[in-house]
A = this chain, B = another copy of it.
């Protein structure tokens, strides 16, 4: 699983990459840089985490989720990424109680009609509220 993804993207298989990728696969929600640093323990250098995340984003293994605060969130999109081509056209949900952000892969972003002159290419949507677990 982890190996497949790395190999498919022509990346060397290293402990750090395996561990971080597993973290994404096993995690329900999106992860911030800080989460990853914590979860991998003291095993990896902070810089390695930065570089690994950057690499994964470039390869399309994970994608960034827009947030309203100043945090950067990353999430792996199971279906899309395994297919190798990257299109995260799904809605993201932030729970205001548990504060988790998750990908709603089955909910696609609706189209909107823009004013004259605008040529839309991509749309993202972020819904906040209370998730099923927190109700």
Contact = CB atoms under 8 A, between A and B. Distances in A.
Interface of A: 64-70, 72, 91, 93, 96, 104, 106-107, 109-110, 112-133, 135
B122 A127 contact: yes
A9 to B, nearest CB: 21
Could you say how many copies of this chain the assembly holds? 2
B128 A125 contact: no
Contacts of A119: 129-131, 135
Contact of A130 (B66, B121, B125): B121
A119 B65 CA distance: 20
A6 to B, nearest CB: 24
A128 to B, nearest CB: 5
Can you list the 10 inter-chain pairs with the closest CB atoms, starting with the nearest? Answer: A117-B132, A66-B66, A121-B129, A120-B129, A119-B130, A123-B127, A124-B126, A110-B110, A64-B68, A122-B128
Contacts of A67: 66-67
